[in-house]
Amino acid sequence: MDVLVIGAGFAGLYMLHRLRGLGFTARVLEAADGVGGTWYWNRYPGARCDSESYYYCYSFDPELEQEWRWSERYPGQEEIRGYLEHVTDRYDLRRDIELGVRVASAVREDDGWVVTDTEGRERRCRWLVTAVGCLSAANVPDLAGLADFAGEWHHTGRWPHEGVDVTGKRVGLVGTGSTGIQAVPVLAESAGSLTVFQRTANYSIPARNAPLSEAEMAATKADYPEVRRLQRASTNGHPYLVSDVDVLDLPDDERRALYEKAWDRGGLRFRAAVKDVLSDPAVNASASDFLRDKIRETVADPETAETLTPRDHPFATKRPPIDSGYFETYNRPNVALVDVKADPITSVTPGGLRLESGVEHELDVLVFATGFDALTGPLLGIDIRGRDGVALRDAWADGPRTHLGLGVAGFPDLFTITGPGSPSVLTNMPTAIEQHVDWIADLLVRLRETGEHAEPTPEAEEEWAARVQEAADATLLPQAASSWYLGANVPGKPRVFLPFAGGMNHYRQRCDDEAASGYPGFGLRPRGESARSA
Ligand code: N01
């Protein structure tokens, strides 16, 4: 094989398609029994995308854009999985995808990579591309007694395909990030009781999901060139630009009206209505207060409303969820909220969850909406060994180091789609993925022509790490101490700001410059020559 690609989600599928078109021999190895990546695994109740359907999709083929029909403003998990199945068949990708193959290790040998799966089967390739996703390594809290829980427990990112019948049952859900906030209203409808265990209160904005009419779809399809232009011009890959209105200059009533309008429109676009919301503390405080007011207006019980009100981080410094009736759900008689910051969970008992105070909550079903070991987890889950046998786990012991999130010093001819240090999770993912895949494809064409190796230089990595930190420091993002952007949700994980916060548009330019100037940060050198002698 010229290229092995690990993962068959949005990234792996498009990488395979591009490689095929360029005449490379390539195969995709996928641990799951189906394609879809994140959308294969995350089947929890309420799973739905937070980006709008018309742009949470590929842009590489105008025919695909025109023929696919999205049914709702925000696509549900099953619809996105169906879309990716369609793409797989439409471009005849299936014959080069091996399903049910979990990669255990990838070792640099001679001029290529030896990739070994968990069954011990080896495959060899010249170039290795990881398309393992940013949020695919489930983070299940290490709680004493979990193995002895008498009921059933599930992590949302590993939800059983046959579903979980919670009808009439006592359900406990841990975690109030984007996932928990999507799942709570749906679980509450059929559970006998639902107890939500909240560690950090979260802001959330109504999604305002709705079916898409034929007319809306037709208008979008007619406008796709402009949609794509806007996506490329924006900082986060969404097809809208940030407002140029200084909200603090507005009289109170006009500012309130601006927030109300953005609230009524709903979705992640709320952020774009508030210029400098992520860089100006006063602007952010004003928007955060508006969102706190909304919680008080929605939740009937003042004590529950206060517990649900975020006070320890500015709005959007943690990835903001969007919801369909989340805060309203706490007005149901079968739903209760428990503050586990005030009274932490200490263990799982056979009958439920025990808190530090000694209080025990009796449960039949326990749901962990506790997120992921983000960005580095999926890569470090594979034993990747570069030149001289150096393990990626050791190279990243103090946090990940990459050049542009695309490659790692000491690991020649390895390319990481949406790796740490790239904008990835701060953007609309398909936009970031397509940019990475296209960029990697161009570089591979060059490497095939010249016979060179590509391996980031330590200097380039150092410079990029400084840029990533500087970009984060120019925002309020590092102020959220418990953010998974910083690795704070996983005990023992180094606290390093993981994605590049300097904007997708600027990042794209930086990558284009790197290519146009001959890939100086990738230390291109003739085949067979080691990096140290280069
Ligand atoms: O995970 P999270 P997620 N005891 O890490 C809590 C994307 N996404 O799966 O904040 C008690 O955000 C944790 O508390 P804290 C999106 O990018 C996209 O919800 O660490 N609680 C937090 O409340 C999103 O940001 C979509 O203090 C514990 C929650 O669990 C990312 O995935 C939908 C705990 C985890 O929140 C991750 O979201 C869903 C413990 N031991 C997700 N450990 C769409 O676009 C963790 N928590 C569709």
Average pLDDT value over all residues in the chain: 97
pLDDT in tens, 509-526: 999 999 999 999 999 988
From 181, 370, 418, 495, mutation site for ligand 1 pocket: most ligand atoms within 8 A of C-beta: 370
The whole-number pLDDT of residue 526 equals: 84
- Whole-number Å distance between alpha carbons of 75 and 81: 10
Across-strand partners of 191?
A: 167
What number of other Cβ atoms are within 10 A of residue 351's Cβ?
Answer: 16
- Whole-number Å distance between alpha carbons of 147 and 65: 47
pLDDT in tens, 247-267: 999 999 999 999 999 999 999
The whole-number pLDDT of residue 533 equals: 43
Cβ of 371 closer than 6 Å to ligand 1, yes or no, is: yes
Atom of ligand 1 nearest to the CA of 175: 30
- Structure-block tokens of residue 475: 């925002």
pLDDT in tens, 318-352: 999 999 999 999 999 999 999 999 999 999 999 99
Atom of ligand 1 nearest to the CA of 48: 48
The whole-number pLDDT of residue 530 equals: 63
Cβ of 319 closer than 6 Å to ligand 1, yes or no, is: yes
Helix (H, G, I), strand (E, B) or coil at 288: helix
Angstrom distances, CA of residue 241 to CA of 122, 229, 232, 430, 434? 47, 11, 11, 18, 20
Lookup result for tokens 């517990």 = 307
- Rounded to two decimals, the pTM is 0.97
Among candidates 50, 53, 78, 49, which has minimal Cα distance to 68?
Answer: 53
Please list, in sequence order, all residues whose beta carbon lies within 8 angstroms of the beta carbon of residue 355, skipping any fewer than 6 positions away.
338, 340, 343, 344, 345, 346, 361
- Whole-number Å distance between alpha carbons of 527 and 446: 13
Cβ of 484 closer than 6 Å to ligand 1, yes or no, is: yes
Report domain extents, the chain: 3-137+373-526, 146-214+232-368
CA 337, 338, 339, 342 torsion: positive or negative? positive
First to last CA, the chain: 26
Written as one letter, the residue type at 32 is A
- Whole-number Å distance between alpha carbons of 312 and 307: 12
Atom of ligand 1 nearest to the CA of 319: 25
Cβ of 83 closer than 6 Å to ligand 1, yes or no, is: no
Mean pLDDT of the 36-56 span? 98
pLDDT in tens, 206-246: 999 999 999 999 999 999 999 999 999 999 999 998 999 99
CA 376, 378, 381, 385 torsion: positive or negative? negative
Percent of the chain predicted with pLDDT > 90: 97
CATH architecture assigned to 3-137+373-526: 3-Layer(bba) Sandwich (3.50)
Cβ of 435 closer than 6 Å to ligand 1, yes or no, is: no
- Whole-number Å distance between alpha carbons of 109 and 210: 52
Residue 534 has pLDDT above 60, yes or no: no
Residues 507, 423 contacting (CB under 8 angstroms): yes
Q: Ligand 1 mean position to 321 CA, how many Å?
A: 9
What's the angle, vertex CA 483, arms to CA 347 and CA 45, rounded to 5? 65
Cβ of 178 closer than 6 Å to ligand 1, yes or no, is: yes
